[in-house]
Each structure stands twice: as structure tokens, then as C-alpha cells.
Chain A
Amino acid sequence: MTEPNLRIRGLTKSFGGVRALDGVDLTVPGGRVHALLGHNGAGKSTLIRCLGGAFPPDAGTIEVGGTSHTRLSPRESIAAGVAIIFQTLSVVDSLTVAENIFLGQEWTRYGRIDRRAQEEVAAGLLERVAATCSPRDRVSELPMGQRQLVEIAKALSRSASVLVLDEPTAALSGTESEALAERVEDLRTQGLAIVYVTHLLGEVERLADEVTVLRDGRVSHHARMTGQSRRDLVEAITGRTSKGRGAYHGAAPPRGHDQPPPTPRPRPNRLTLDALQGPRFGPVDLTVAEGEIVALYGLIGSGRTSLLETIYGRHPATAGNLHVGTRTVRPSRPSDALAARIALVPGDRRAQALFPVLSAQDNALLPSIRRMARLSIRSTRAERRVFGTLSDAVALRPARPDLPAAAFSGGNQQKLVLGRWINEAREVDVLLLDEPTQGVDIGARQEIYGVVRTLAAERGTAVLFASNDPEEVVALAHRCLIVRAGRVAGELSGPELTEAALLSAVHEGAA
């Protein structure tokens, strides 16, 4: 048997006394896809970064192509044949595809860059990854999926033998994700060792030959994928058995087809869209009843985000009407929507929602401190109290008001953002969520679902959320609207609402 392309043994790394990695082993032979799972903070990123040479491990060895290293610099890592495609791509927008592929290893002729030769070779590499873009295209003009392929082509140009993909589908649409899955399968056939980091179990089941789950810096589970049940994986990731103590805060049990969310009795409509039109969508008619959770399922770019943002007043509606209860509202900015008791949890947490350097308390309460103030003076006592109940309600960890938001995991950051609209000082009748668990680990994901369900069931909040994750839609929604090209193209509810039905509904019109 030949040497595996990648063999990591006993990798250990501490940060200030905290073990981020503790004796981790990982072996990936060529021609295999190895999925790496785990909560945010479980050690996945530390592992990848040690592999990429971002920092040296404290102990353990990294073997690439038979050569053993105790530490790697970024340069050595590339030279050894490791290519890492990070979530935030490292392509340079203002350069062309070919220039990006050869960045740092330019081909020169008489001291000048040999564009023609670069473009020729780039075309071959692009073909290998089935990219449709041309070597001369400017990267800034390409969709996300193509940019990612450019980065993979760049890895191939350096004859990488180990390819690490860090949540590669997080920013991709459904069709792009599907195309990427096919590329991963091709590259496996071409003999690359692929480490596939993801939160999405569906992708693991589809692509992986083996799986390693990290928890608290250790390997908590390692197995071949054949015969793995999803429940095993979820338990390995969360460290909870499904029978365990009532671990999910105020929540229904974990998602699954066995327990669809109960459909509420007919109730009055809280949110009504009457032929609403706005940028990239419309006209859209829809209603969300009191206590109802409705999903907008569709590809990225289908107009879901634009629809939610228009309801929230970020974009002007060009035609149609919006009613909250029986009142007609026409929000022209978010504060108008909030006055009508509509709130949005935006899709891009870092760009649109978070104040990383400000405290957790500020992050959760900034929109409401004016309401708690007396005579224009802030009431610190009221703020502390409201934050206390809020952090309990969303199960914030750690429940510290003073830590900056940047110190929290993605899931807990999302709880802070969600907490803005569900505290004593600020309650809403209509809650809009755009990709509510983007970049959120599985454990926190369940907690967020629990919070949303409780909100709908107990306070009668009407919830409208956009998602491109069929699992999420099935787990959370009472009813799902299929969005395609800015319009509602179908509706699924009750027993019809399954992942298979959602996938086929979207792919019908996608081509």
C-alpha cells in the first residue's frame, strides 16, 4: 500500500494554556474525501491553520507525501503540496483569472510576464475544474462559485496533492453547490486527498468516504461513512445523546422527519404582502399568520434577501402594499419597520449585524437603550436586567455582558443579534430572518430553532425566514414558499414538506 497523501499524528496546539488541539490524528490517502466536522471552536480551524503553516503546532507531526514535518511555514506548506481553500477566498478581485492563478509564481519571458503562456495553461486548469469562466475574465465580475473554482485551479497549478476545502458551499447557491460537489468527485478520481470541512451533514453523506469529528480539540469520532447514521454524527458533534437531559433550551426536540412541527390552528394574519414589488423581486403575495413560521426557500440570488430587506424598509418597495395586522405600512427605512413592530436578522452577520468590538450587552441592546433610558439618561440597571433575562432566553454562552461580541462563537453572536428583537425592551410582531443559522454550529443551531419556535408558540410572533438549507426549512417551518426568480413559485406544507421535495422544487426551474 502506498503512503497516504496526508497523515497527521498527535497534533497538539495550545493558546495561552487552552488546548485548542489535543493529540489529533487524521489520515487521508489520495483519492479519498475526508469530512472534518465539529462545532465552531472544536479545533477545525486550528487544525487547518497548522496544516497551512499559519502557526506552528506544539507537538505532533504533519506528513505530506511521505515527508514528515514538525512545523510548516506557509511557504513550506504550499511547497509540500497542501492547498487550502478558505471560506473567505483569497483571490484578488482586480486581477484576471489567469493572473490570479499564477499570482506569486508568474511565468516570465525576458523579465516580462508571459501572459499568453499563462492564459493557455490557465485555460487547461479551468477545464480540469469545469469552470466556465475565461482566463481573461476579471475576478470581480465572476459569481462566487466561479471564484472558488479559480482558487481550486490555482491549487492545481501548484500541483497540490492535499486539498482542504473550508465550508466551501457556505456562500454558494444550490446549483453552484451541486457543481462544486461534482468537481470534488472529479478531483477525488484524479487522486487528490481532500479534507472537506463543513457543517452540512447532507454534503458529508453525499461526498465523504471517511469522517472525523472534533470536539473540544480532540477526535470524538472517526469512521468510514458507509453505515454511518446521521444521528451518530450529530451525537458525536454535540456530545449529547438524543435521549439526554433537556439540553435544548425551551425547544422542541432535534429536527427530523419523525416529528414535524405542529401546525397551528387558524389564526389571524400578522403579515400580509399584497402584490409587493421591489428590487429583484415581485409581485409577491403572501401571508404569515400569528404564531406561524414560514420559510422562503430558494437559491441565492432568487430575490429572497431582497424581499425580506424590502419588508424591513432597507430598499423601497416599487409597488404593492404591506400590512401588519390590519394596518398598512410603508417603511422607507428600518426604523419605520421597527416602529411597525417588524424586525430583521440580516443574512450577513459580520457586515450587516455585528459590532465586533462592542460588548455583548451593547450588541443585543443598542437598538433599545433609548427605550430604557429615563429623561435621555441611560438606565444601566434596566440594561443589565434586560440583558440577563435575554441571555437566559437565548442560552448565551458565556453569559457575559461585558465581553466583546468578537470573542463569541458564530452561534452565540447570532443569538445576540436575534436577542435584539426578543427582549423585554423590544418585542416585535413580525420577525424576519435571513439565513438564520449561516456559519452557526449544529448545537447552537438547535438552540436558535428552539428560541424561534418558542417565540412563535408563546408570543404569537409571525416568523418569515429565508434559507437555502432544506434541512433547516424542514426542521423549522410550518409552511414553505418556493422562491424562484423573485416570485413565489410554489408552496409546500405538512407532510409534503420534505427535503427531497424542496430540492426537486428548486432544481426544476434552476437550469
Chain B
Amino acid sequence: MTTLTAARAMSYGRLTAVRRHPLLAVLAVLVLVFQVTTGSFLDAGNLRGIATDAATLAIVAVPLALLVISGYLDLSVGSTLALGGLVAGWLAGEQHQSPVVAVLGALAVGAAVGAVNGVLCCYLGLSAFIVTLGMLTAVRGLAQQVFPLPLSGFGAGFAWLGGSRIAGVDAPVVIAALVLVAGASFLAFTPAGRHVFAIGVNREAAHLSGIAVRRAPFALFVVTGVAAALAGAIKASVLDSAVAGTSGAGFELTVLTAVLLGGVALSGGSGSVFGVLLGVLFLGSLQNGLTLLNVPAFWQQMAQGVALVAGAALAFLGPRTTR
């Protein structure tokens, strides 16, 4: 028995970063290939573009990953993103509110959507897949009802959110970095971070261990809603426009793809913020590189889909990791 467990122990032993995150090697190869083929992939300007694009993805992917680790799921983020952008733009533009008020307004709307999801899923025990799929449609409908016309012209103050630079780095990238650090710290250093894993692995066992099994996932639903609305506000600021019908359409699937590529198990209980970062960078690089190579958008979409399935196969064949 001891020998058998010892053999198992070896396979569970310290894995190097690459073995733990096979995506790291894939990303490196991808970057290399794009640099060789385009010659300009690693230029500062291009990297900055990738970072800005990836930033909104990361801001939502991190809380969504935590939610998935705790055994839940949020598909409504695409519509929440649209609604957040519209509310922020409307407050900043038509209502001539300060950018701070505009952003806070968007966050409040995101929190409300998240709270609805959270109450229905965590406290009433409905299926997160069904609830958030319904909310995806409902929130989109709400956005189109309230803002039937495209909004734009949000003013110079609001443009600060997406366009300003802090110590030479674009504001969205700084925000994304803060979110990544916060997410990783939460998982590593706080008791609640460990509880999230426990709830995702075995909710009943967590409950019987005295862990509050509803509170943390509920909070994560709210945070995910807030993050989606924040990402919406950032996008509205960058583009200086927001459209109820199209803003963030399909975003929920892109962000979920990033989370799953990053090694977060859809069944809950395993995943890491570093993995999510890799997933986000991978998708961002893929899209950017293919665009540089003038690959048509439909092919890009196909590549994204293939990457996800290939990633799942890789995770299935590769070493099983925890954390």
C-alpha cells in the first residue's frame, strides 16, 4: 500500500510550471511562430494592443474563474458588459455626470445583475447554467429596451478610463493587473480562497465541515457582475460608443474559453489565476497574430474553437493537477 501511494505521490509531486500549465509552452510557440511569420508581432506597439484587448477579458475572466472553481458558472457576462457600458456612457454623455459617477453607476448595475444570479443559484439552488443563460437573454433585452439607439460622445473625461496611461501603462491594463493580483492573493492567502475550492469539490462535505457554502459563491456572482460592467465601461470609453444590440455579443463564450483554456475545470474545484492569465494571453495573441496575418475573421473564430477543444484534450491527456 505504502509503495503504491508512493508511486502515486511521485506523479503528484512538484510539477514544473510548464507541466502544471502546458499552455505556457503552447503560448511560447505561438508567439515565436507569429514573430517569425509577421516580423512585427513583438513590436512594442503591437504588444500594447494585445495587452489592451486582453485587459477587458482578464478583468472578467478572473472572477469568472473563481466562480467556476466554486462549482458555478456565469453565462450572462456578455449582456452585463453591454448594459454596463451603456449605463456608464449614458451617465457620462447624456447626463453629463462625472466619469467617477458614470463608472460607479455601471458597477451598481453589474452588481445588481450578479446579485440576481447569486440569489437564484446559491440561495434558491437553481441551475447556474439555466439561470445565467436566461439572464444573458433577459439583460440583453433590457439593454435594448432602455437604450434602443446607439450611444456615443461620452466626453473627454470619460475617455480617461480607457485611454489614459499610468506610469506608461494603459489604464485598462493596470486595472487588469490589479484584478489578477487580487484574484491570485484571494486564492492563495485567504481562508475564503481555500473554502472556494472546497465548495467546488464537494459542496455537501464543505457544508458539513461548517463552511458557509452560499456566501462565497454569492459574493463571486456579484463580483463577476461588477467586473463585467467595469469591462463594459472600459470598452465604451475606448470606443466612445456603446450599442445595446452588439456590445459584448459572444463575449461570455470568449471569456469562458479563456478560463477553460487556463486549466480551470468546468466541474469545479480546480484552477489557478496564473492559468487564467495564460488563457487570456493565448486568446489575445491568437486573435492579434491571425489579424496581422490577414486571416479572415471566420477562420479566427474557428481557430479559437479548435484551440479550446485541443486544450481540453491536452488537459485530459496531460498530468492531472490540483490547486
Contact = CB atoms under 8 A, between A and B. Distances in A.
A484 interface: no
A407 B322 contact: no
Given A39-B1, A369-B191, A334 B209 contact: yes
Interface in B1-19: 1-9, 11-12
A41 B8 contact: no
B208 interface: yes
A407 B1 contact: no
Contacts of A334: 207-210
Interface in B182-218: 188-191, 193-195, 197-198, 201-202, 204-212
A69 to B, nearest CB: 25
A366 interface: yes
Interface in A1-52: 15-20, 39-42
A29 to B, nearest CB: 31
B2 A407 contact: no
A454 interface: no
A362 B6 contact: no
B322 to A, nearest CB: 5
Interface string A308-329: 0000101000000000000000
A355 B203 CA distance: 9
- Chain B, interface size: which category? 20 to 34
Given A355-B201, A357-B269, A407-B8, A367 B1 contact: no
A444 to B, nearest CB: 10
B270 interface: yes
B7 A356 contact: no
Contact of B212 (A15, A312, A335): A335
Contacts of B188: 378
Contacts of B270: 357
Contact of B9 (A337, A400, A409): A400
A397 B2 contact: yes
A500 interface: no
Interface size class of A (residues with CB under 8 A): 35 or more
A87 B1 CA distance: 20
A376 B193 CA distance: 11
Interface in A170-210: none
A357 B205 contact: no
A352 B1 contact: no
Interface in B157-182: none
A398 interface: yes
A358 B208 contact: no
A420 B7 contact: no
Nearest to B205: A353
B202 A355 contact: yes
A87 B321 CA distance: 28
A216 B1 CA distance: 6
A15 B191 contact: no
Contacts of A370: 191
Contacts of B4: 15, 18, 20, 41
Contacts of A346: 205, 208
Given A366-B194, A369-B191, A404-B12, A354 B202 contact: yes
A440 interface: no
Contacts of B197: 355, 358, 362
Contacts of A286: none
B7 A15 contact: yes
B15 to A, nearest CB: 12
Name the residue in B190, B204, B205 with the highest tally of chain A Cβ atoms < 10 Å from its Cβ. B205
B194 A403 contact: no
A90 B249 CA distance: 44
A511 interface: no
A41 B1 contact: yes
Contacts of A409: 1, 5
Contacts of B269: 355, 357-358
Contact of A407 (B12, B207, B210): B12
B40 to A, nearest CB: 43
A216 B3 CA distance: 9
A344 interface: yes
Contacts of A335: 210-212
Given A18-B7, A335-B210, A367-B210, A373 B205 contact: no
Nearest to B3: A18
A297 interface: no
A276 to B, nearest CB: 19
A41 B195 CA distance: 31
A359 B13 CA distance: 12
A465 interface: no
A358 B191 contact: no
Contacts of B193: 378
A373 B208 contact: no
B322 A358 contact: yes
Contacts of A358: 197-198, 201, 269, 322
B20 to A, nearest CB: 14
Contacts of B211: 335, 366-367
A156 interface: no
Contacts of A314: 207-208
A16 B194 contact: no
Interface in A385-401: 397-398, 400
B204 A352 contact: yes
A238 to B, nearest CB: 12
B204 A351 contact: yes
B322 A373 contact: no
B182 to A, nearest CB: 13
A17 B209 contact: no
Interface in B231-276: 269-270
A357 B269 CA distance: 8
A355 B205 CA distance: 7
A356 B9 contact: no
B205 to A, nearest CB: 5
Give the interface centre of B4, B204, B270, B322 by most chain A CB atoms within 10 Å: B4
Contacts of B212: 335
Contacts of B201: 355-358
A378 B194 CA distance: 9
Contact of A403 (B5, B198, B207): B5
A145 B208 CA distance: 28
Q: Which of B201, B206, B210 has the most CB of A within 10 A?
A: B210
B197 to A, nearest CB: 6
Q: Which of the listed residues A333, A369, A409 has the most CB atoms from chain B within 10 Å of its own CB?
A: A369
Contacts of A17: 7
A213 to B, nearest CB: 14
Given A344-B208, A362-B194, A377-B189, 13 more contacts: A18-B6, A40-B1, A41-B5, A216-B1, A314-B208, A335-B211, A352-B204, A355-B202, A355-B205, A376-B191, A378-B191, A403-B5, A404-B322
Closest 7 CB pairs of A and B: A41-B1, A370-B191, A335-B210, A338-B210, A367-B209, A355-B201, A369-B191
16 contacts: A18-B4, A20-B4, A40-B1, A41-B1, A314-B208, A333-B207, A351-B204, A356-B201, A357-B201, A357-B269, A358-B198, A358-B201, A366-B206, A369-B194, A403-B8, A409-B5
